[in-house]
Amino acid sequence: MLALAGQRRDLGDGFVVSRVLPDVKRRTVGPFVFFDYFGPVEFAPGRGIDVRPHPHIGLATVTYLFEGTQMHRDSLGSVQKIAPGDVNWMTAGRFIVHSERTDDEARATGHRLHGIQSWIGLPSKDEEAEPSFQHVGAAHLPRKSENGVDLRVVTGNAYGLVSPVRVFSDIFYVDAKFAAGSSLPLTVEHNERAVFVVEGTLDINDVPAPHGTMVTFEADERVNLSAKAPARAMLLGGAPLDGERHLWWNFVSSSRERMERAKEKWRGQPRGHIAGDDEFIPLPENR
């Protein structure tokens, strides 16, 4: 059992992001190669998030919110507002460009934002897949209750439930809400597993794990999760990737040469990928 605290960064306007994966002690959990936890943060009227258009290759992004909304746009023409409990899964594959911004209504009135964006490494055979985008509303995600724990399967399969989100490899990602006095054994059907505490404190094999902590486990380790008071956690993991992955900026690939080609593509044509949004994040030349 290994606990990861995450590295906190203030991006301005009080918007703090905790980068939990990759970590020097644990780079990946199953196919999860990147895990950013943000908020909760209160934005005043007129304020919000503006992640300008930027590219990805070799991965899928998964956005999941607990509070607030965001507007997703991409170079496929997708325009999708995401609300708490929904899933936005974007497959970058060979190349995609997207932006994430606060929608006009939320920006005008002010709002709270709280959620997670994670990156899923694609199997080597799918790294050059056609880019695509999926949105699945909260009402369409499978749910069940076990011993006082409300479970919603975001992606993959766990606890006898299967998410409708199309995935590329063995994965599970579960939103678990614990009532006071509830307990739950962590699924053992996946090779690599972790728990991230979103709210409150979770006892993991009777060891307290506070809000903002990720705990990872050995493949054969038996894990019991319990809560003395209401708590919430994301349960995640799956099969490890089929080989080493290189991460640079927004790119994930098994090939360094492929990363270099992605850099040149973005350096040479950064504008006009998203209709109505000519802004872009330049390639970081000093990295």
Buried b (16+ CB within 10 A) or exposed e, 71-107: bbbbbbebebebeebbbbbbbbbebbbbbbbbbeebb
pLDDT of residue 186: 98
pLDDT of residue 13: 64
Which CA distances in Å does 275 have to 53, 67, 252?
11, 28, 25
User: What is the pLDDT averaged over residues 231-239?
Assistant: 98
Give residue-wise pLDDT tens across range 239-260: 999 999 999 999 999 999 999 9
Predicted confidence (pLDDT) at residue 14 exceeds the cutoff of 90: no
Maximal C-alpha separation, the chain: 57
Our measurement of the distance from residue 118's CA atom to the centroid of its chain's CA atoms, rounded to an integer in Å, reads: 2
Task: Identify the residue whose tokens are 């995640």.
Answer: 236
User: What is the pLDDT averaged over residues 187-192?
Assistant: 94
Mean pLDDT for the chain?
A: 95
- C-alpha span between 199 and 248 (Å, rounded): 31
- For residue 12, name the pLDDT band (cuts at 50, 70, 90): low
